[in-house]
Structure 1
Amino acid sequence: MLRFLGEKAAAKRQVLNADSVEQSFVGLKQLISCRNWRAAVDLCGRLLTAHGQGYGKSGLPTSHTTDSLQLWFVRLALLVKLGLFQNAEMEFEPFGNLDQPDLYYEYYPHVYPGRRGSMVPFSMRILHAELQQYLGNPQESLDRLHRVKTVCSKILANLEQGLAEDGGMSSVTQEGRQASVRLWRSRLGRVM
């Protein structure tokens, strides 16, 4: 930019990159808000490396956190936004069908005592399903969306019967249950 605009104009038009922002979710939000998708992908990679994942860690044992899975979702969504569908598919591969034991709170009782269920962001499940249509596999995309729809419907049925989301006994307040029903209805709407 300096070469094209000159020093004064370039100084006024500072373009953010992965090096010029805070190395955190805050910096990531800045890059995304100024639509610097590639720099945001780079920063996600750095942040995942800081979580013991990402670059050079493929195939090694890993511990997931809600933050690391959120970073993976953002990175994968950015790859799709950039049209890098094959890259997104390759980076999704280690997650399998998103139902591996290490993707659940119960796998980390020392970190998430008493928490139950999947740590995978719901939007990551939708992205996992929809990615297949961009790769020329519309039937696989529909099959994955149908599986997500089935889970949403089952959880809603459990909640409407006064049970917990997983079908067990519930100790949730009526207000909490109504909030859960609204959440799962909106999720079901996203799948439809």
Structure 2
Amino acid sequence: MDSDPFESGVQAVTSGTEKLSVTDPLTNEFTSINDVCHELSSLQELAARGSWRSIIDKVARARALSLLQKPHDHLTYLAYNVLAFTKLRRFNEASAELDSMEDLNSSHYKYETYPKIYPNRSGSMVPFCIRWLHALIPIKLGQRQEGMDRLYSLLDFVREKLKEKEMKGLGVSLDVWRKREVFVMNSTIGYHLTDKEFSVALSLIKDLLNRDPSDATLISKLGYVQMQIGDLEGAKTSFNQIEVLMKESKTNGSLSETELKNLVSRNKALVYMVGKDYVSAVREYEECIERDHTDVVAINNKALCLMYLRDLSDSIKVQENALERVPTVALNETLVVNLCSMYELAYVNHSDVKRTLSNWIARVAPDDFDAACTRA
């Protein structure tokens, strides 16, 4: 049975909206998730809670007590450890952990090297999460070119896997690798946009759209880039295209009905904001929040529009209410930075107010939340 790096199994949240698979069941014949890897359910629970420091402690304890018996156990724990270090912005330690590995394609990390442990199984046991973090960490350490080179190498790797799956007609596995290709390309696009390399980003976006012209999220991204380069009419055309697809029910189904409607409303609001029609933008964002009270983008941008309308009091209320109502969702660093900026504009004693917010965040935030964003 051919196997690829941790294609199925439980998901662990990483940065951004995507999820990376950290584990891969060796067989479908197990009674609990812990049969897959030593105390895997505990690792998953800690990751879901954002308890990244506890994960690091758990990995260290498992290693010290020699609790990891099989090669894939070691790789799974290493993946969680690197992910935890990355979430905590301890990038040097994440890099050192990755450096402890040999070449990711080494025979040491192939199932067929251990036929007694993994009979009738072949392929790599390296989690895709590790391959992704291997590309990401150099960028976080300021070694951008090396990181971008690794991202493009990862993209080549994924596409080779896609060719293999297509030749073998492995439907489910093929879908997984297609999603990974889109994930890596979107990540690459994001880093090009960060450095204002708009032409490269546009080329990659259009490449993806040629394969799936009904991807509403990607069409929106195209519109955002068009806005950044000053092509407002092009952006409007892109945003209108999403509305047409929605009305004709021709989107690719990656978004729920509510998510799609909110995407359309947020795009309209963005056009209004560019035109400084903040009242109309607020109306669109309110519709988003009414449909989904966890829409952090709409909450944050509604507050910004109210600030531009010189209504600091309501702007602050919007964000404070969101933090009180859905703290696990609204506890977003961008939202908190904006809220603190509004405190500075609204209150003489803003230091005390920010300190109160900072103390509350310390009690409820996951380990990876950057408390420095309060500037308290």
* TM-score normalised by structure 2 residue count: 0.37
Counterparts in 2 of 1:24-103, with a 5 A limit?
24-51=39-66, 65-103=71-109
Q: 3-state SS of the aligned residue for 1:95?
A: coil
- Structure 1 residues 117, 51: closer, same or farther in 2, change over 3 A? farther
Task: Tell me the distance in 2 between the aligned counterparts of 1:49 and 1:91.
Answer: 15
Of residues 174, 181, 184, the one that matches 2:177 is: 184
Of residues 102, 106, 130, the one that matches 2:136 is: 130
Q: Output the amino acid matched with 1:119.
A: M
Q: How many residues align?
A: 148
Deviation, structure 1 residue 190? 1.5
Deviation, structure 1 residue 51? 4.2
Q: 3-state SS of the aligned residue for 1:114?
A: coil
The structure richer in helix per residue is 2
- 2:110 aligned partner: 104
Deviation, structure 1 residue 94? 1.7
CA offset digits 1:63-119 (Å, max 9, x no partner):
852222111101100001111101111111121331222111121111111211110
Deviation, structure 1 residue 50? 4.0
Q: Which runs of 5+ in 2 are unaligned?
A: 1-37, 186-376
Q: Which has the larger radius of gyration?
A: 2
CA contact (8 A) 1:64 1:103 kept: no
Task: Tell me the distance in 2 between the aligned counterparts of 1:181 and 1:27.
Answer: 30
Task: Tell me the distance in 2 between the aligned counterparts of 1:158 and 1:36.
Answer: 37
CA offset digits 1:119-156 (Å, max 9, x no partner):
00011100111111001111111111112211211222
Q: Which runs of 5+ in 1 are unaligned?
A: 1-22, 54-62, 164-173
- Structure 1 residues 156, 31: closer, same or farther in 2, change over 3 A? closer
CA contact (8 A) 1:132 1:141 kept: yes
Q: 3-state SS of the aligned residue for 2:96?
A: helix
